[in-house]
Amino acid sequence: MMINGTRLAVLSGEMHPWRMPVGSLWEDVFEKVRALGFNTVSFYVHWGIVEYKRGDIDFEGWRSLQPFIDAAKRTGLHLIARPGPYINAETTGGGTPGWGARVPGAWRTSNATYVDAMEGYVRRVSQILAEAQITRGGPIIMVQPENEYSYCFETPDCPVPWPQPLYMNTLQDLMREEGIVVPTISNEVVATSSNYAPGSGPGAVDIRGYDNYPLGFICNATSFWPDGALPTNYWELNHNISGGNPNSIVEMQAGAHARWGWFSSDDCADMTGSSFERVFYKNYISFSTMTMNLYMLYGGANWGGIASPATVTSYDYGGPIRESRMLDREKYSQLKLIAQFLRVSPAYYTTKPLNQYPVNAVNGSFTDNPGLAVTQLADIVGNKTVFWVLRHAAYNSLEDAEYKLQIPTSRGNYSIPTLGGSLRLNGRDSKIHVSDYEFGGNKKILYSSGEILTWQNLGSNTILVIHGFSGELHETAFLMEAVRVEVLAGDALRDSRSENGVVTINYRITDSQTVVDVGETLHVIVVNRNDAFEFWIPEPERSPAIVKSPYLIRSAVRTDATLALRGDLNQTQATIEVFAAPGVESATYNGRNVSLNKTAYGSLLFDVSTTSDLQLSLPSLQELDWKYINGLPELRPDFDDSAWPDADLVNSTNPRTPTTPTSLYSSDYGFHTGNILWRGHFTASGGEQAFNCEIQGGSAFSVSLFLDNSQLDYFTGIYNVASVNLTGQLPSVEPGSEHVITVLQDHMGLEQNYGPGGDLHKIPRGILNYNFTGSNATRVTWKLTGNLGGESYVDRVRGPLNEGGLYAERQGFHQPGVDMSSWESGSPLEGAAEPGVRFYSATFDLDIPSDLDSPIAFSFTNSTTPANYRCLLFVNGWQFGKYASNLGPQKRFPIPEGILNHRGENTVGLELWAMDPEGASLEDFFLEPVGVVETSMSEVEPLPQPVWEPRLGAY
C-alpha cells in the first residue's frame, strides 16, 4: 500500500472513542500505540449513540469525532474509519438505534424503510469523516462501509435475497456523495467469502479484508489450542478472490470479551498472550499481510448501557493495553518486538510466500527437522531479501525442537549454524529468520537466525538489535570484507569467523546485554527477549535514537546537543540507556536535567528517580458518611404513577406480534436501556390465585415481581438465559379491591443483528405473556417507565445510555450536588433486610499528584455464596459499573481520570437491588489503584459533571 508516495504495511489496532469518553486520554492511548511501532488506529462510530432519537443527530461533547481525529493527527497515526451503520462490537443493537425496533422491514438491506432510516446518519457521519481524509490533510486513510457483511448467517435460509449488491452500492454512493474518496475496505466474517470483492460488480469495495479469530471467544480453556485452528492458506484464498489485492486482516484476534457468569478479561488475555502473538501473528506475516488490525488493541468500558447482552461492563477484551491504559501485560511488549521489526523492514512490503501457492509445501521445508514448517516469504520486487517464517508443523506443539536452518542465499546454500551447535524452537513459538536483509543504507545481513528487533543509523554508526530466548544459540552473518569482531560488553559471543567477504558471529543468548563491534561502524546488541521488551524506538523520523527504559518511552526529540525524553516509570528508580548519534551532550527526562555517563561502547546512561514512592493513600469507602433513600417507592400504596407513559399500543411493528392485549415491549415506547419498570393496575375478581408472566431482558438479566408492596417471585439471572417465566402466588384478594403488579427488570441491551435482513435487534425487552391463575377475565392496565424522557433523554451531557428507569435515576439523584439532608443514614455495607432497591450516595476527596497516572477502581468483594443482588455504580453522575453478585466475573471497575476527580471532590452513588427475601448488603466495597506510574502524558481535562437540579416532569 502506498500512502503519500510511501510504501508501508498498515499496522493498526482497534479503539472505540465512545468506550473511553474522556477525550483528553485518547492521546495517551495513541502514544502507547505509536510506541509499539504501529502506524494506524481503527475505530467504529456508534449510530445508536449519536442518533438515539430519530432525526436528532448529536456529535457534540464526548460524542464528537473531531478531538479523536485531532489527537491521531498530533500523534502521527493514520485512522481507519468504520461508521457502519451496523458495527456489531458487542454493543447494544450492534450499534443501531433502539428506535430501529419500530421500523418495519428488513434491516441491513436495500429495503426502503431501512435505507430511509439510516440515510441521515450515513450522510452526516460521512461529511465529518470526509473532512478528515488524508486527501484533505487529515489522518483517515480508509473507510469501511457496513460490517462483516459478506456472509448471511442464516444460509441456506437467508431471510432476504443474498447477496445484497444494491444495498452495498447505495451505502457507498451515499458516502461518496458526501465526499469520501479514500479507499473503501470490507471485513469478511470468513476468509472464504467473496461477496463485494474488488472488481466483482455493484457493491464492490476497493480493498477486500477479512476477520480471523482462530481461538474463538471461549476463554475458560486458556491453554487449549485446538488442532487445525492455525490458518495455512489465507494468502492463496485472498489472492484468488481479490484478484491480487494485498492481504488485509481487518479484525485480527487480540483477545475476547468477558462473559456474564463465566470468564474474565484476564482469562482472555491469558488465552491470547505472548505465545499466541508469536505463533499466530507471525503466521499472518507469512501471508504477506499488508493491513493488520488488532481487535481490540485498547478496549475501554461498556459504561452505561453500551453493552449488548454478550458482555459485562468491562470491554478490556484481554487486549495488549488494559482498560485502565496500563501496560503491564507481556503481550504488549511481545507485540512491540514484532511491530518494530516490520517497521524497519521495508522489503516486507513487497513480499510473496513462494512455497504456500500453488502447492503448500511449508511442512518439513528448509530445516533438517520434519516436525517444523517454514514459509519462504520473498521480496519479489527487490529480489533479494527473504523472511523465513518458522513454526512447528503441529502449531500447538508444546515440545521444544532442535534444527538447522537450510536455506539458499545470494552466496549459496547454508546450513545454519555454521560454527557449531543447533538452533532451537520452543513449544508454541515461531521465529522469523532473514537472509539477504539490507539495513543501514549500505549494509547487508547474509543470514540471521537471531531475530531482529530494530536497527538505526546514528551518525556514521549503525546499531542493530537482535534478540532471542535465554539459552538459545543463534548465528548472524554479514556481507562485508574482513573486519575486527570485538566484544565490548556481555558474554553471549561464542565464536566468529571472517572469510570470503562474510563475517559470521555465533552467540548464545544470556541474561546480560552483549555489545559486539563488527568493524568500525556496526554495533550489534544481543539481548534476551525480556530485555528486548525495554527497548524503545521513539519517532526515528524526528530524532533517531534507541532508548532502553522500563515501562514506556513516549518521545525523544533532539534540539542541537540536547536530547529531550518523555517517558513513564512504574518503579521508583531506574537506569536509562540511550543510543544516539554523536554530539549529544545533555539530556532531559520529562523536563528534568539528568547527568549523563558514557559507556565503553558509546551509549549514554543516566539515573532517574520518581518524585514520590508511587504509593497512594486512598479513602476508605466504609467510613464515608453514606445516605440513602428508598429506590423503589413504587411499592408504596400511595405511589402516583399517573404521569407514567401508558403501555396502551394495540398494534406493534415488532416482528413478534404481541401476545398480550397491548404491547408490553419497552422499545415500542422509546425505552431501550437500563432498568425498566412496569406497573399493572387491576381490580380483583376474588378468584385470582397466582400471577404468571414471561419476562425477557436479554442474557443474564434479572427480574423481581411484586404485588402491591410484597415480592412474589424473582429471578437472579443465568449467563445464557434471556427470558424467564415467573409465578407469584397471590394472597387472598377481596373482590373489587384495587391492586398493582410491579415488575422490575434489567435491560441487558438489545441483541446484535448479525445477519443481513435479520430482526435480532428487534427482539423485545418486556413482558411477553401474563395471566392470572383462577381468573381469566381479570383485566390489567399497564404503565411503564425507563429513563426519564426515553429517546428525548434529559442529560444531554452524559448521553442517552447513562440512565435507566429506577426512581433515583429519573430524579437525577445519581448526580453530584443532591441535597441529602432528608435522606436516611446508612451504608451499603449494612444494606437492607428486605427485597427492593436502595440508592446510596456519599462524597469523598482525592488528592493524587498530577504527575501520577494512577487509574482507580471501585471494587466489590463477595463470599462464595453471596446474597443475590445487583448494583449500579455511579461516579460523579456517570454510570460506570453494573455488578451482579451471583454472576460476576467482574468485581473491579476502573474509573478513568476525568470521570473520577483525582484532585477534588467526588460523588459516588450505588443503586442496590436486593432480590432475596432477606435482602442484601455489600460484603466489602473499596478503592484500589490498578496501576501507579509517574507519567509525562498531558494533563487530563475532566468531563463536564452537571450537578443536580430538580428535573422538569420527573416522576
Q: Is residue 179 part of a domain?
A: yes
Return the CATH number at 27.
3.20.20.80
Cβ neighbourhood burial of 863 (10 Å; 0-12, 13-18, 19+): exposed
Handedness of CA 689, 694, 697, 701 (dihedral sign): positive
pLDDT at res. 462? 96
CA angle 709, 715, 718 (to 5 degrees): 160
pLDDT at res. 540? 62
Q: Is residue 311 part of a domain?
A: yes
Return the CATH number at 704.
2.60.120.260
Same domain, 561 and 654: no
**CA dihedral angle for residue 223, residue 228, residue 230, residue 234, rounded to 10 degrees:** -160
Same domain, 181 and 254: yes
Q: Is residue 389 part of a domain?
A: no
pLDDT at res. 482? 87
Confidence bin at 325 (pLDDT 50/70/90): very high
Same domain, 844 and 716: no
745-759 mean pLDDT: 94
If DSSP codes are grouped into helix, strand and coil, which group holds residue 26?
A: helix
Same domain, 768 and 842: no
Of 323, 341, 359, the residue at which a domain comes to its end is 341
Q: Is residue 366 part of a domain?
A: no
Could you report the per-residue pLDDT of 419-444, keeping only the tens digit for each? Answer: 999 999 999 999 999 999 999 999 99
Q: Cα(530)–Cα(333) distance, rounded to whole angstroms?
A: 9
Looking at the predicted structure, is the pLDDT value of residue 922 above 70? yes
862-884 mean pLDDT: 92
Q: Known catalytic residues? A: 148, 251
Confidence bin at 556 (pLDDT 50/70/90): very high
Q: Cα(767)–Cα(778) distance, rounded to whole angstroms?
A: 17
Of 341, 369, 401, the residue at which a domain comes to its end is 341
The strand pairing partners of 157, in sequence order, are none
Looking at the predicted structure, is the pLDDT value of residue 154 above 90? no
Same domain, 89 and 145: yes
pLDDT at res. 861? 92
Looking at the predicted structure, is the pLDDT value of residue 153 above 80? no
Residue pointed to by grid coordinates 514448517? 373
pLDDT at res. 151? 77
Q: Cα(917)–Cα(716) distance, rounded to whole angstroms?
A: 12
837-844 mean pLDDT: 98
Q: Is residue 616 part of a domain?
A: no
Same domain, 316 and 170: yes
Q: Cα(211)–Cα(225) distance, rounded to whole angstroms?
A: 19
Same domain, 781 and 823: no
Q: Is residue 449 part of a domain?
A: no
Confidence bin at 881 (pLDDT 50/70/90): very high
Looking at the predicted structure, is the pLDDT value of residue 155 above 80? no
With contact defined as beta carbons under 8 Å apart, do 37 and 80 qualify?
Answer: no
Which strands make up the sheet holding 552-559, listed edge to edge? Answer: 552-559, 562-568, 586-589, 592-594
Looking at the predicted structure, is the pLDDT value of residue 739 above 80? yes
Q: What is the DSSP letter of 17?
A: G
Closest listed residue to residue 847, CA positions, set 899, 900, 896, 904: 904
Same domain, 65 and 172: yes
Looking at the predicted structure, is the pLDDT value of residue 43 above 70? yes
Q: How many domains does the chain have?
A: 4
Same domain, 588 and 665: no
Q: Is residue 623 part of a domain?
A: no
Domain extent at residue 555: 534-568+573-609
Could you report the per-residue pLDDT of 613-651, keeping only the tens digit for each? Answer: 999 999 999 999 999 999 999 999 999 999 999 999 999
Q: Cα(867)–Cα(499) distance, rounded to whole angstroms?
A: 76
Same domain, 327 and 216: yes
Same domain, 665 and 721: yes
564-573 mean pLDDT: 97
If DSSP codes are grouped into helix, strand and coil, which group holds residue 257?
A: coil
What is each CA distance from 134 to 73, 204, 349, 395, in whole angstroms? 10, 22, 21, 40
Q: Is residue 421 part of a domain?
A: no
Same domain, 546 and 653: no
Q: Cα(651)–Cα(654) distance, rounded to whole angstroms?
A: 9
If DSSP codes are grouped into helix, strand and coil, which group holds residue 295?
A: strand
